[in-house]
């Protein structure tokens, strides 16, 4: 698949998911924050940006666009399936492993000979 075709698929998926509204809304908020910051402090500017009482033209456009977007049938179907696929109660338990599953290696067995008496001297 060529690079252009991949980008077209990504763009189509983004449009299908409604990500274009999120991008436009983010751009509107950034513009509003810059505009308000020219008049007030950054804290007041951000407060005015996100309080919803001072929408800009782009914010109004995004809100109207979201309202005019028809509800798709997929979301209705997925809501109906939630009742059928209700999650069961799950309980996490640790696995029970018997000691026979891990036999002792041969090199860790006890010695058959007693230690030498007297012990050897270090040279």
| Tokens, residue 72 | 């798709």
62 close to 24: Cβ distance less than 8 angstroms: yes
Q: Which residue in this structure is represented by tokens 């399936």?
A: 81
**Domain residues of the chain, as ranges?**
18-75
Environment class of 17 (CB within 10 Å of its CB; exposed 0-12, middle 13-18, buried 19+): exposed
Rounded to two decimals, what is the model's pTM? 0.51
Kindly write down the DSSP assignment for every residue of 23-72, as one continuous string: HHHHHHHHHHHHHHHTTS-HHHHHHHHHSSSS--HHHHHHHHHHHHSPPP
Whose structure tokens read 């914010």? 59
pLDDT of 27 reads: 92
What tens digit of pLDDT does each residue of 14-69 get?
Answer: 888 888 888 889 999 999 999 999 998 999 999 988 888 888 898 888 888 888 87
pLDDT digits (tens, 9 = 90+) for 77-91: 555 555 555 566 777
């Amino acid at each position: 698949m060529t690079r252009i075709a991949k980008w077209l698929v990504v763009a189509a998926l983004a449009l299908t998911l409604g990500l274009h509204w999120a991008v436009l809304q983010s751009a509107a908020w950034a513009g509003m924050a810059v505009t308000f910051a020219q008049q007030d402090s950054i804290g007041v500017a951000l407060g005015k940006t996100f309080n919803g009482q001072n929408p800009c033209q782009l914010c109004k456009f995004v809100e109207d666009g979201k309202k005019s977007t028809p509800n798709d049938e997929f979301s209705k179907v997925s809501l109906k399936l939630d009742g059928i696929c209700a999650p069961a109660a799950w309980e996490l338990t640790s696995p029970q492993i018997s000691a026979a599953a891990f036999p002792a290696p041969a090199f860790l067995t006890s010695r058959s000979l007693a230690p030498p008496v007297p012990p050897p001297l270090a040279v």
